[in-house]
Structure 1
Amino acid sequence: LKKMSLSSSWYLKKLPDLSNATNLEELDLRACQNLVELPSSFSYLHKLKYLNMMGCRRLKEVPTHINLKSLELVNMYGCSRLKSFPDISTNISSLDISYTDVEELPESMTMWSRLRTLEIYKSRNLKIVTHVPINLTYLDLSETRIEKIPDDIKNVHGLQILFLGGCRKLASLPELPGSL
């Protein structure tokens, strides 16, 4: 099994044990509105590249201490009860955690050398961003409660797009990279 889509399975509350799905590369759980948690057997999905959980409104947490080495694309847009996003892979190139309750980003995110796109639009509980991943090309922090952009943003030389609209608590901007 390489691809599995359970999208719009509105009444699905939990996933089965996935420890035997070791060849799974794509998992689409989009709009599984009643899904509350991911099983700890997620740690067996070493070949998983694409995880789409957009609109899983009741999802509260993602298992910690899993290292999905192949994971590249993660979409958790609209997981409105998700309060934290753990360090589940250092190989993610695109992460969308817009419309979530995420309060802070994992510190290890600065070491995610492949991360190019980071979207946190309308994550209204996000107040602090301590570091900006160095290889970002696209960063959307619009309508968050951040008060400050980290000074190290000036070192993100490939940053081409920066959205900060509606950041009402943002008082000042640091020096920005010349790529903008």
Structure 2
Amino acid sequence: MHDQLRDMGRPIVKLENLDAPGERSRLWSEEEVIDVLKNNKGTKKVRGINILDTIEIETEAFKSMTNLKLLDICDASLNGSFKYLSSELVWLRWQGCPLQYLLLDGFSHEKLVVLDLSNNNVKPHFPKLQSLHLDNYDNVERIPDCSLYPNLEMLMLADCQKLKELPDSLGSLAKLKDLDVGRCRELSRFPASMRRMRSLRYLRMASFSSLEELDATYCNLEGLNPDDFEKLSSLKKLSLFEIDFQGLPISLRGLSQLEMLIVCSKL
């Protein structure tokens, strides 16, 4: 949402109930959020809440917020059972929270569409996601079976410094459009199944000097910058199909280790 549009809407939301913030559809003011959560003043009218303070919250404070759809948490610590989080959650961003696992105590996530766990150590396992953000996921060496995310359209893995491999099940993501593995320095190859990802349009690989093989034959990539090839100094095999290039990019000259090149551009 654009900041100006957000700022225009906030006075309207406040008019929903001037005296009781817990009776409004959106909560963002630090003072009001703390008051509602600390004193269990939340109601089923709350649909979106931003928690940006470094506070400790008892999860039972969410018990009455049964229609909560958007939850944005940064730096707060939650204590108690996750079963109190609304089963209506559609969008969840959880950054900097000291949690080991999110799937505890009956947390229901069937309607979750977007999960953003950037800069976190939570281990996700959500089968109906469309967008998964694991940027700066410090401890991950591999990601779970991708067949668990059949509706995934966006997978963000930038700066996962310990990520060593992508599973063969990556090819099962038939709806994936955007894949970001920029600055994943330990990652050296993509699985052969990647060629089945015919919806893939954007592939980001900045500072990806260890990659040895890239086979995106049927991925119809539109968001691959030809200049990025010069950063793939270890590449040995490159297979591309229907890439919108006007001839071969000059940056291919920097691929001194290249042994096999298969390219078919769009007509």
TM-score class normalised by the smaller sequence: 0.7 to 0.9
Q: What TM-score do the two structures reach when normalised by structure 2?
A: 0.56
Question: 1:95–1:113: structure 2 CA closer, same or farther, 3 Å change rule?
Answer: same
Name the structure 2 match of 1:106: 144
Tell me if the contact between 1:99 and 1:124 (Cα under 8 Å) persists in the aligned partners.
Answer: yes
- Would you say 1:138 and 2:178 are equivalent positions? yes
Name the structure 2 match of 1:127: 164
Question: 5 Å matches for 1:29-178?
Answer: 29=73, 31=74, 33-35=75-77, 39-41=81-83, 45-53=86-94, 55-56=95-96, 58-63=98-103, 66-79=107-120, 82=121, 85-87=123-125, 89-101=126-138, 102-107=140-145, 109-130=146-167, 131-132=169-170, 133-144=173-184, 145-178=186-219
The structure that is helix-richer by fraction is: 2
Q: What TM-score do the two structures reach when normalised by structure 1?
A: 0.80
How much is the aligned-residue C-alpha RMSD, in angstroms? 2.5
- Runs (5+) with no aligned partner, structure 2: 1-43, 222-267
Question: 1:156–1:5: structure 2 CA closer, same or farther, 3 Å change rule?
Answer: same
Letter in 2 for 1:27: L
- The alignment-based identity, stated in percent, is 17
Q: Cα offset for 1:37?
A: 7.2
Question: 1:98–1:19: structure 2 CA closer, same or farther, 3 Å change rule?
Answer: same
**Equivalent pairs, count:** 170
Larger Rg: 2
- Runs (5+) with no aligned partner, structure 1: none
